[in-house]
Structure 1
Amino acid sequence: MDFSIHVAKVLQIGGLEIWITESMVNSWIIAGILILLALFVRSKMRDPEKVPTGIQNVVELLVDTLDNFSESTMGKHGRKFSSFYAGLFIYILLSNLSGLFLGPNWNPEFPLPVNFMRPPTADVAVTFALALITFFMTQGFGIKSKGVFKWMKDMTEPMVLLTPLNIIGELANPVSLSFRLFGNILGGTIIMGLYYNLPWPALVGIPVVLHGYFDIFAGVLQSFIFVMLSMTFVSSAMD
């Protein structure tokens, strides 16, 4: 069994090696699916004056729900962030759920083609990149909302001696965000990989339950937690 991140292709540009990893390729696949889905939805909603039916009703319900959720979580600032966090949530969710898609030769002894499309979120480089977005949004919108001097003064609260701890706390946020998502998804990937390498009679029926927990339940939960914490960090910085 091999749980490492594989390199799909190495590009030589100006004497530098640029590694295209399977996490990047899988991320592009998921991004492509989301773009095609967005274009499909847009094609069904060309006439804003038309009485909404079918898919437009579903989309409007989802948008309204996400707007209300963002506003309830982030307060008066929430609605302007809802489209960004909705896109982030859907991307992370599909990345987490991609472990459900199987390919050939995971276990040569098993008579059916079973192999994971490795979730991009099982790569700490991906989750840390997402967490850095939240970190820079937190600092950027904090400065925009309060001004540089008030933002710097907040780092010294409640006393100047705690300034180093406040700075460490800010730097720890993207680390905790990234490792929480990465650890949960990678853990599920490893457990499922170990299970699929059992003799094939032990695999009958049980993978459905395990996929239901490690891929669907944990995938949805971790997507929600990541976005909820990201929204909380940004809104707190702006208050």
Structure 2
Amino acid sequence: MKYTQWIITFANGFKISETIITSWIIMAALIIIAFFLTRNLKPVPTSKVQIMLEYAVVALRNLVKGNMGDDVEKKMPNMLPYIGSLFLFFVCSNLIGLLGFKSPTTDVDTTLAWALITCFLIYYQGVKAKGPGYFKGLLEPVPLLLPLNIVSEFARPISLTFRPFGNILGGTVIMGLLYQLLAFVSSLIPNVSIPFLQLMIPVPLHLYFDLFAGCLQAFIFIMLTMVFVSNATE
């Protein structure tokens, strides 16, 4: 299983990877879909589309409030759209592999960027809520634990980065090996030129690795984000 790392190279040596192109495609698709779904919204919903959208937004708001408190929209008004956008982008990044694209989640740069954004949000909201005294938490419960607390701060973005990256990449590698195995087995059957085994057997595994595991990792990531930010502002 091979992927092209760089697909656009400019004269000055600047390169654009397949991961970036795929991420742009996902963002463009989400923007276009959001534009068409949110047109002609009414104060009292009459269409099924608006009813489903409002149901999804209310469910997301309840999830955020349940983990971060009822006053989260007052303290952090951008948290709700951030969590929603992150979840949608995460899920689409995992599912786009079904269309033949390289999943951005299988590139550690993508998950590292998400982890760094989350960590920046944690420190920003912590300092905003407590001021410079937020960093006094590194000395708790006793100053002797300062080295361990510093290590835990570095471990947080590492954990957020490699948890989704490892799970999604592992599923991609397994599926790639399975397709190669099925193609080999199909080639052993006489008078058969089509690797028909690849058409049916991988379907249940795709449902698990791409759909279930992808949505699960996206949910875990946003839950950890909300918990970390909420703890920083307490």
**Normalising by the residue count of structure 2, what TM-score does the alignment of the two structures yield?**
0.88
Contact 1:5 1:23 in 2 (8 A): no
Query: How far is the alpha carbon of 1:27 from its aligned partner?
Result: 0.2
Query: How far is the alpha carbon of 1:5 from its aligned partner?
Result: 5.4
Q: 2:28 aligns with which of 3, 17, 32?
A: 32
- Check if 1:144 corresponds to 2:132: no
Identity of aligned residues (%): 43
When residues 12 and 233 of structure 1 are mapped into structure 2, their CA distance, relative to the original with a 3 A threshold, is farther
Q: Counterpart of 2:101 in structure 1: which amino acid?
A: M
Query: How far is the alpha carbon of 1:171 from its aligned partner?
Result: 1.5
Q: Trace 1:194-213 onto structure 2 (pairs within 5 A).
A: 194-198=177-181, 199=183, 200-213=195-208
Number of the residue aligned with 2:188: none
Number of the residue aligned with 2:69: 75
Q: Trace 1:13-162 onto structure 2 (pairs within 5 A).
A: 13=12, 17-45=13-41, 48-79=42-73, 80=77, 81-101=79-99, 116-148=100-132, 150-162=133-145
Q: Which moved more, 1:48-57 or 1:90-99?
A: 48-57
Aligned counterparts of 1:182 and 1:18: Cα–Cα separation in 2: 25
Contact 1:7 1:22 in 2 (8 A): yes
DSSP 3-state at the match of 2:109: helix
Contact 1:70 1:82 in 2 (8 A): yes
Unaligned runs of 5+ in 1: 102-115
When residues 143 and 6 of structure 1 are mapped into structure 2, their CA distance, relative to the original with a 3 A threshold, is same
Aligned counterparts of 2:127 and 2:151: Cα–Cα separation in 1: 18
Aligned counterparts of 1:138 and 1:84: Cα–Cα separation in 2: 13
- Check if 1:182 corresponds to 2:165: yes
Q: Report Cα offsets for 1:89-132 as digits up to 9, x if no partner.
A: 0000000111111xxxxxxxxxxxxxx31100100000000100
DSSP 3-state at the match of 1:43: coil
Q: Counterpart of 1:88 in structure 2: which amino acid?
A: L
Contact 1:155 1:167 in 2 (8 A): yes
Unaligned runs of 5+ in 2: 184-194
When residues 211 and 44 of structure 1 are mapped into structure 2, their CA distance, relative to the original with a 3 A threshold, is farther
Number of the residue aligned with 1:110: none
Aligned counterparts of 1:204 and 1:179: Cα–Cα separation in 2: 31
Aligned counterparts of 2:61 and 2:226: Cα–Cα separation in 1: 13
DSSP 3-state at the match of 1:117: coil
Query: How far is the alpha carbon of 1:78 from its aligned partner?
Result: 3.3
Contact 2:129 2:233 in 1 (8 A): yes
Q: Which structure has more helix as a fraction of its residues?
A: 2
Contact 1:5 1:123 in 2 (8 A): no
Q: Report Cα offsets for 1:56-89 as digits up to 9, x if no partner.
A: 1011000111001000011134343111100100
